[in-house]
Structure 1
């Protein structure tokens, strides 16, 4: 008998050239104790654009967990970003291809729930992750349109008349930006807006000395991302995003928005940022509409800070 065969009930069996083993040990660790290059490798493994610097910004802004195998390789991650005692956004929920069919993402999400019990939660789900979040009792809310491309200032048409003066923002404008963002997003995000100001260039629309709209832009992924964008109208949103487009003309620019029609959506397309992909905003607990403030004219979030941050 050949040395590479075995006999079973009189039949010769040739062993398989590979052996699949599903059972291996995974442990949880704090994301802040993991080297950035290992987190970067995880996001690269699923085709996400985050740089090591983007991971560092998120670690400084929120909290998170990673799943490690027996030799310390990062196989999964999940983060949360708290705003007050009763609300958080969830993001950077990633599992390596090795674990995607083994329930690792659900396991990580349940560890997140253990750390922020009782909070209203909001996240943005990829198509592949929607079934997971539905199984965890998240509810669909709004589509997010990921608009990106090589930026260019639109030549067709003329800018709508602005209801004020557009100028750059500085640290003295943070309190007004926090108030506008809270009115639009529904939750006061003071620490996040302060952090974004430190890493961004901002333009604001002013009525006299009153800030009525703003847009921040910072390095991210393949180039820059514009967000958050908060304004009362499409025309105002266009007025504060247009300078960012001019600043980055000919380079990669991205905007994540819920707007699928109207002047702002058309502007993004004409500015070289057509829709590239979509994700779905989902919530657990209070719905987005439950956070809306009353009033005849209220600011709206025209662009997210990012899909992770909301």
Structure 2
């Protein structure tokens, strides 16, 4: 059944609009209203990368948003699902999500659910998967952290490394998202761990929110992940640095804390639909996504 593109809330009505047709400052004001850290530049990057909708009131004010980011024909991440605080108990979030589910019908979906939104996603049959730890703070050198054994050499990534980065990300994430990796690479500084000419781990770091965010990070073990993250800590010492990870214990988690990135909050990765075959296979690979590109992008 097709979802209506209009909704009456209290004494006024709302209608659906394309997220690319509204002013950027309206989206920025929406995220500020729910205390999300996104800058106008972060919104613009997401608009250029994915698709989305907004809920508009009768005079064109943005009262809600939702976005999706397809990767191939069978998978998409969902994010930036925001409703104005005054509408959060009026069904606006469910209305927006039903619009999204219509738009991406047939795809497996993944998203990061805040505590406030989990009940909504559970009602839509999303299934919990694992916790994401939002680690952030003023970056500092982890002087008391003992170096772990490392094979290979770390160097800054260059344009010619993009194909290898995309391939390693696909192994870890389980879905080819070369287009997204290319867009992230354009605005990031990256480091890779190489065994000879072969890339075995990498990290990207870009401006975001209050400072910089490290992600994605792909590696096969904690030592390799630390090796490609540590140059970003050095570059951003004394500045705000964030990293979102599923890793809650072990050497990598300890390194983040000693580098000033403590757990500030958690969200829950949830999914809907069957995993694409390569997403299932990825769970058996040794290469792991140590840090998300972002909570929105996965």
**Pair 1:65 & 2:53 matched:** yes
Q: Which runs of 4+ in 1 moved over 4 A?
A: 287-290, 294-297
Equivalent position of 1:33 in the other structure: 21
RMSD: 1.5
The alpha-carbon distance between structure 1 residues 131 and 201, as it changes in their structure 2 partners (threshold 3 A), is same
- Contact between 2:19 and 2:51, CA under 8 Å: does it hold in 1? yes
TM-score by structure 2 length?
Answer: 0.95
- Contact between 1:185 and 1:291, CA under 8 Å: does it hold in 2? yes
Q: Structure 1: where are the runs of 5+ without partners?
A: 1-20
Give 1:293 deviation, angstroms. 2.4
Q: Structure 2: where are the runs of 5+ without partners?
A: 1-8
**Pair 1:22 & 2:10 matched:** yes
TM-score by structure 1 length?
Answer: 0.91
**Pair 1:80 & 2:68 matched:** yes
**Pair 1:263 & 2:225 matched:** no
Q: Quote the Cα distance in structure 1 between the aligned partners of 2:283 and 2:32.
A: 44
Equivalent position of 2:239 in the other structure: 251
Equivalent position of 1:89 in the other structure: 77
Equivalent position of 2:261 in the other structure: 273
Equivalent position of 1:11 in the other structure: none
Between the two proteins, the alignment pairs up a number of residues equal to: 290
Give 1:159 deviation, angstroms. 1.7
Choose the corresponding residue for 2:149, options 161, 186, 194.
Answer: 161
Give 1:171 deviation, angstroms. 1.5
Q: Residues 196-215 of structure 1: matches in 2 within 5 Å?
A: 196-215=184-203
Q: Quote the Cα distance in structure 2 between the aligned partners of 1:292 and 1:268.
A: 28
Q: Quote the Cα distance in structure 1 between the aligned partners of 2:96 and 2:211.
A: 30
Bigger CA radius of gyration: 1
- Contact between 2:171 and 2:282, CA under 8 Å: does it hold in 1? no
Secondary structure of residue in 1 paired with 2:85: coil
The alpha-carbon distance between structure 1 residues 99 and 294, as it changes in their structure 2 partners (threshold 3 A), is closer
The alpha-carbon distance between structure 1 residues 29 and 243, as it changes in their structure 2 partners (threshold 3 A), is same
Equivalent position of 2:91 in the other structure: 103
Equivalent position of 1:118 in the other structure: 106
Give 1:23 deviation, angstroms. 2.9
Question: Deviations along 1:74-94, whole A, 9 cap, x unmatched?
Answer: 000000000000100000000
Equivalent position of 1:173 in the other structure: 161
Q: Quote the Cα distance in structure 1 between the aligned partners of 2:205 and 2:147.
A: 20
Q: Quote the Cα distance in structure 2 between the aligned partners of 1:234 and 1:163.
A: 12
